[in-house]
Every structure is written in structure tokens, then in C-alpha cells.
């Protein structure tokens, strides 16, 4: 399948998706959303694919935000009537049950930062810069930044970043818990793909359920989350991979996963 604005390739059980509008610093327009939605749906539907990596083409940007040129002359009523950004904030993330990683290779601003935060976790290049500079355009985050950034780095830092529009460098992003680790730009893709391969080598249902459990922590009370976790754990005990994984441990041999 070919796409207008992204590149998609498979490497074993890992799908690599690259935002590919380098001249516009990979700005996110309606076509990018359509392409990403289709690519993630194909990833989700293919049982041979078990983890994905999303990155940006070029060395400068992961994505410098929603496409300002697409929004500049759009009438306000159209934003409302089209429910602009709805596809980004709900459909794209919630329909992907398999794990995926954002490999942030430069600017991740506005919608770019928001898209990275939709990933299950972020690995950042030492050149990465994160920010929600929408205020400088007279607006505010629209793809989840006010919610996900606040949950990731806390109210004080999220508030300061959104109110001043300042960028956070990779070191600060790691200190603040926004990214899992920082690696040199030259090593970013290799590191992200290797991590994705490790995840892809795990039993599929256990990976999907670990993801679901952790995401539930954002959306519920502690009591409900603990119950949800316990029930999902109990469901996993019904899988062939649970029997194999525990027997392999007892027999002191490597597990042979079946993915079910």
C-alpha cells in the first residue's frame, strides 16, 4: 500500500511508520491523519505485526504541529461542524491495541507533541524539543496536549509550557517523565526498533493487556483500576502463552510463544 504523506515498512514483526513531509517539518494535515489512520489499522489487523515505531523524516522534526496553513483561513464554524481534530484525539489512539513507540527526532510541537504523547512511550533524540506553542497562534492545544502533557509532567510545568509556549529540551523531557530515555540522534531509530523488537518478541495478548492496564490508570479511580487489572490478569491466565511461559520457567528453557 502506498501513502501520500507517510512511509510504511515492516521489519520482521515491527512496523516502522515515518511522517514524510520534511519540507513542512512533517506538519500534520488532514491527509496525514487519513494516512496514519489507515496505516495503524493495517498494523492492527496484521497478526504478524506486533509493535510499531512512529518517527519523522529528516533530522529536524518529528512533527512541528498541526498544519497551520490548512487552518489559517478555515472558518470557525467548519472547525466545529467537522469536529476538527476528533480523528486524532480519539480514533487514532483508542483503536490501536498493540503497542507502539514514538521515536522523536527533533521538534515535537503542538500537534507533534500531542501525537508523540499518544504513543505508549516516547524515546527522544538528544536534539528533540517538545512544546505546546499554540498560544502564540492565538489558540490552545486541540489534540490532547492540555490533558496528556499535564498527566505526564504535572500541572506546574504543563501550565508554564502552554502559557509561555516555551520548548522543553530532551534532557528536561526525560527529567520530567515525558520520555522514557534520550539517545544520540544517530542511534535513535536503531534504539527504538530494537526496543520494538523486544516488545514484539513477547506474548501478544500479554503485551496488549499490559498496555490496556496502564492506560486504564489514566481514566479511572485507583479502586476501579486495581479491579480492572486483576480481572485482566485473570483473563491472561487462560492463554496458551501463560501455560507455556510458566512451564518454560519451571523447566528452565526458553518459552515458545503462540501469540494466544
Q: Which residues are catalytic?
A: 66, 111, 114, 134
Task: Tell me whether residue 117 or residue 192 sits nearer to ligand CAA (CB atom).
Answer: 117
Using rule CB under 6 A, residue 99 touches ligand CAA: no
Question: Do 123 and 102 contact (CB within 8 A), yes or no?
Answer: yes
Binding mask 217-246 for ligand CAA (x = CB under 6 A): ------------------------------
Alpha helical stretches, state H, 95-216: 111-118, 145-153, 155-164, 170-175, 188-200, 204-216
Using rule CB under 6 A, residue 105 touches ligand CAA: no
Distance CA 25, CA 31 (A): 15
Using rule CB under 6 A, residue 56 touches ligand CAA: no
CB of 66 to ligand CAA, least distance (A): 3
3-class secondary structure per residue, 218-248: CCCCHHHHHHHHHHHHHHHCCCHHHHHHHHH
Using rule CB under 6 A, residue 26 touches ligand CAA: no
Question: Do 95 and 40 contact (CB within 8 A), yes or no?
Answer: yes
Residues in a beta bridge with 9 = 16
Single residue of 55, 133, 161, 192 touching ligand CAA by CB under 6 A: 133
Using rule CB under 6 A, residue 135 touches ligand CAA: no
Note the maximum CA span of the chain: 66
Using rule CB under 6 A, residue 24 touches ligand CAA: yes
Residues that bind ligand CAA (CB under 6 A): 24-25, 27, 64-69, 85, 107, 109-111, 114, 133-134, 137, 141-143, 145
Amino acid at each position: 500500500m502506498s501513502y501520500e504523506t507517510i512511509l510504511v515498512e515492516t521489519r520482521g514483526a515491527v512496523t516502522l511508520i515515518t511522517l514524510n513531509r520534511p519540507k513542512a517539518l512533517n506538519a500534520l494535515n488532514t491527509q496525514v491523519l487519513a494516512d496514519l489512520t489507515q496505516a495503524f489499522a493495517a498494523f492492527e489487523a496484521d497478526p504478524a505485526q506486533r509493535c510499531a515505531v512512529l518517527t519523522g523524516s529528516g533530522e529536524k522534526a518529528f512533527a512541528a504541529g498541526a498544519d497551520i496553513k490548512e487552518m489559517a483561513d478555515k472558518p470557525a464554524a467548519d472547525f466545529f461542524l467537522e469536529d476538527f481534530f476528533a480523528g486524532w484525539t480519539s480514533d487514532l489512539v483508542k483503536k490501536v491495541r498493540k503497542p507502539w513507540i514514538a521515536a522523536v527526532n527533533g521538534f515535537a510541537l503542538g500537534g507533534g507533541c500531542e501525537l508523540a504523547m499518544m504513543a505508549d512511550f516516547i524515546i527522544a533524540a538528544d536534539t528533540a524539543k517538545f512544546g505546546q506553542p499554540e498560544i502564540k497562534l492565538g489558540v490552545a492545544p486541540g489534540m490532547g496536549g492540555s490533558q496528556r502533557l499535564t498527566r505526564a509532567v504535572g500541572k506546574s510545568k504543563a501550565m508554564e509550557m502552554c502559557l509561555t509556549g516555551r520548548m522543553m529540551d530532551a534532557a528536561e523531557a526525560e527529567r520530567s517523565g515525558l520520555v522514557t530515555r534520550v539517545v544520540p540522534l544517530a542511534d535513535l531509530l536503531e534504539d527504538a526498533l530494537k526496543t520494538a523488537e523486544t516488545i514484539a518478541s513477547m506474548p501478544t495478548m500479554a503485551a496488549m493487556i499490559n498496555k490496556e492496564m496502564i492506560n486504564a490508570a489514566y481514566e479511572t479511580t485507583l479502586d476501579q483500576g486495581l479491579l480492572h487489572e486483576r480481572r485482566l490478569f485473570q483473563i491472561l491466565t487462560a492463554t496458551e502463552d501463560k501455560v507455556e511461559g510458566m512451564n518454560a520457567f519451571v523447566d528452565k528453557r526458553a518459552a515458545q510463544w503462540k501469540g494466544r
